[in-house]
Amino acid sequence: MEQKPPEPETKIDNLFIDAQAFPRANRLTRAADYDVVFKQAKRSGDRFFTVLYCRNELGYPRLGLAIAKKRIRYAVARNRLKRIIRDSFRHAKNQLLGVDIVIMARDQTEQALNKELFASLEKHWRALARVNRIR
């Protein structure tokens, strides 16, 4: 008879899932949420992304994506880009407290390597964390 390994504790599993997940609470889901960011936005940009952000009173960050077909023509490329942005955000969200973020892609994003996109996003997250701490 084979013995099964012991089941991990639920408490540990939940902590791991929470740290690695992208829950609905961390998303901008309504058009009104996007409108607030677009109207009150501060801007950060480089050759790959334009990042719009504004403070929120929630105490946790929320991410919205505005990836236009005009900029990224093929659905496969848009989906790849969204996965990269969400993954980068998941790893950085603990540094970003109380901010709503909308990310827009630029033309050069489609041809960029994943490594370049992650590096670009990391610079944006660091800048947002620095701005957030000052306030």
User: For residue range 34-56, what is the model confidence (pLDDT) as tens digits?
Assistant: 898 899 888 988 999 999 998 88
What is the rounded CA–CA span in Å between residue 64 and residue 100? 8
Per-residue model confidence (pLDDT) at position 129? 85
Q: Where are the domains of the chain?
A: 20-134
Nearest CA-CA partner of 102 in 60, 42, 57, 46: 42
pTM of the shown model:
0.79
Residue 97 has pLDDT above 90, yes or no: no
Place of tokens 């660091």: 126
Collapse the DSSP code of 108 into the 3-class scheme (helix H, G, I; strand E, B; otherwise coil) and give the result: helix
Sequence-separated (6 or more) residues with CB below 8 Å from residue 92: 121, 122, 125, 129
Question: What token pair was written down for 81?
Answer: 């880009």
Judged against a pLDDT cut of 60, whether residue 11 lies above it is answered with no
Kindly give the residue spans of alpha helices, DSSP state H, lying in 1-135. 10-20, 31-40, 75-92, 114-134
CATH of domain 20-134: 3.30.230.10
The reported pLDDT for the residue numbered 3 is 62
> Other C-beta atoms within 10 Å of 50: how many?
16
